C-alpha cells in the first residue's frame, strides 16, 4: 500500500514523499490534481448596464475594459472551495432533477456582487471589492483581495453579479486548483571517493563531508542542497575533470517526491486528499467494469 509523508507544507505549497509505489501511480495523482480535483470558480457574470446619479454626479457603466475581459479575470480569482458544503450542479440534492438552465441554489451556487465607482486619476477595482451573498467566511481571502479587475476614472462605474459553481480542470483551466505539479524520484547522495570529494568541500558551499553518514546522505532537504552544490563541479566546469563521480546521486526504488502549489481556493493538503478520493473512485468504477465483463 502506498504510504505518504508531508515533507514541507505552507498555505499554498506542499512537498509529499510517496513510498511503496511506482512512477505510473504518482503520475496518475499528478494528472488528477490538475484535471479532476473539484473546485469552485466563477462561471457566469451578469453585468448591469446604465447610468446612476449620485451626489450630483452621473456615473455610467462604460469602463475601459470589455465585459468579456472582466469576466475572464473574474474566472481566475480563487474562490473559497468547501467540498462538504457545495455540490456539482448535476449532483445537487435540490437541482439535479432540473434542466441545466434552471439549476442554481445555495447548495451548488455561490454569488458575488460588486458595485463600485471610479475617481479622479483612476481607481483600481479589485477582488476585495466583491461581496459574497452569504457568510463572510466565503468572501475572497484577504491574501487575494488585491487582485485587479479593472480601472475606473471619474464618471465610470461597474456593477455585476458573478456566479461560481463547482467544476473540474478537464473542463476549463479556471477549475484547476493547482500549478507547478511535479514529481521526482527520491535520491540519496553517495560518497564514492573522499579524496576527490575535497574539491567540492574546498568550494565552501553548503554540504560538508560530516553531513554524510557512512558515505551516504539521505536527509531529503540536504540531498536537495547537494544537488545544487554538485552543479559547481558538474559538466561544463573546470572542477569536473578531476571530480568526476566522487559523489553521485542514487535513486531510491519505489519512492517519489511530489510537489505543487494551489491557487488559494483550497489548501494543498485538501487538494491532495480530493485528488486521491477522485482517483480512488475512478479505480473503483474501473474494477466494477472489469468484473462485469469477465
> Considering the domain 39-172 in this protein, what is its CATH number?
2.170.120.12
Residue pointed to by grid coordinates 552544490:
229
| Tens digit of each residue's pLDDT (9 = 90 or more) over 14-31 | 999 999 999 999 999 999
| Tens digit of each residue's pLDDT (9 = 90 or more) over 104-116 | 999 999 999 999 9
DSSP classification of residue 209: G
Say how far residue 40 (Cα) sits from the centre of its chain.
Answer: 13
Domain ranges of the chain: 3-36+179-261, 39-172
pLDDT of residue 222: 95
pLDDT of residue 280: 87
What average pLDDT score do residues 178-184 get? 96
pLDDT reading at 263 higher than 90: yes
- pLDDT band per the 50, 70, 90 thresholds, residue 54: confident
Region of residue 55 (left: phi > 0; alpha: psi -120 to 50; beta: else): left
pLDDT of residue 286: 63
Report the alpha-carbon distance of residue 148 to residue 77 in Å, rounded.
10
| Tens digit of each residue's pLDDT (9 = 90 or more) over 144-156 | 999 999 999 999 9
Across the chain, mean pLDDT equals 93
pLDDT reading at 284 higher than 80: no
Helix or strand run (H / E) with residue 12: none
pLDDT of residue 67: 94
| Tens digit of each residue's pLDDT (9 = 90 or more) over 151-171 | 999 999 999 999 999 999 999
In 3D space, the residue among 178, 197, 208 whose CA is nearest the CA of residue 246 turns out to be: 197
pLDDT of residue 6: 95
Return the HEC string of 158-214: EEEEEEEEEECCCCCHHHCCEEEEEEEEEEEEEECCHHHHHHHHCCCCCCCHHHCEC
pLDDT of residue 262: 96
Looking at the DSSP bridge assignments, the partners of residue 8 are 15
pLDDT of residue 283: 72
Amino acid at each position: 500500500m502506498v504510504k505518504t509523508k508531508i515533507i514541507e507544507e505552507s498555505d499554498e505549497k506542499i512537498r509529499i514523499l510517496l513510498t511503496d509505489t511506482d512512477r505510473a501511480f504518482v503520475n496518475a495523482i499528478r494528472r488528477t490534481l490538475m484535471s479532476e480535483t473539484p473546485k469552485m470558480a466563477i462561471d457566469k457574470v451578469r453585468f448591469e448596464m446604465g447610468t446612476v446619479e449620485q451626489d450630483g454626479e452621473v456615473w455610467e457603466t462604460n469602463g475601459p475594459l470589455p465585459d468579456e475581459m472582466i469576466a475572464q479575470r473574474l474566472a481566475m480569482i480563487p474562490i473559497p472551495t468547501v467540498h462538504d458544503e457545495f455540490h456539482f450542479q448535476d449532483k445537487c440534492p435540490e437541482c439535479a432533477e432540473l434542466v441545466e438552465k434552471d439549476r442554481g441554489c445555495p447548495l451548488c451556487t455561490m454569488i458575488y456582487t460588486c458595485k463600485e465607482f471610479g475617481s479622479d486619476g483612476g481607481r483600481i477595482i479589485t477582488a476585495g471589492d466583491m461581496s459574497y451573498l452569504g457568510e463572510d467566511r466565503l468572501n475572497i481571502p484577504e491574501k487575494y483581495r488585491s487582485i485587479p479587475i479593472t480601472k475606473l476614472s471619474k464618471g465610470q462605474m461597474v456593477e455585476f453579479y458573478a456566479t461560481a459553481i463547482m467544476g473540474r480542470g478537464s473542463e476549463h483551466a479556471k477549475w484547476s486548483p493547482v500549478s507547478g505539479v511535479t514529481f521526482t524520484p527520491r535520491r540519496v547522495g553517495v560518497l564514492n571517493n573522499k579524496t576527490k570529494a575535497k574539491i567540492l568541500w574546498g568550494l565552501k558551499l553548503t554540504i560538508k563531508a560530516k553531513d554524510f553518514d557512512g558515505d551516504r546522505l539521505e536527509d531529503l532537504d540536504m540531498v536537495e542542497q547537494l544537488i545544487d552544490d554538485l552543479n559547481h563541479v558538474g559538466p561544463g566546469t573546470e572542477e569536473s575533470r578531476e571530480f568526476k563521480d566522487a559523489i553521485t546521486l542514487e535513486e531510491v526504488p519505489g519512492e517519489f517526491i511530489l510537489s505543487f502549489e494551489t491557487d488559494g481556493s483550497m489548501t494543498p493538503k485538501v487538494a491532495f486528499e480530493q485528488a486521491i478520493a477522485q482517483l480512488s473512485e475512478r479505480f473503483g468504477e474501473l474494477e466494477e467494469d472489469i468484473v462485469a465483463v469477465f
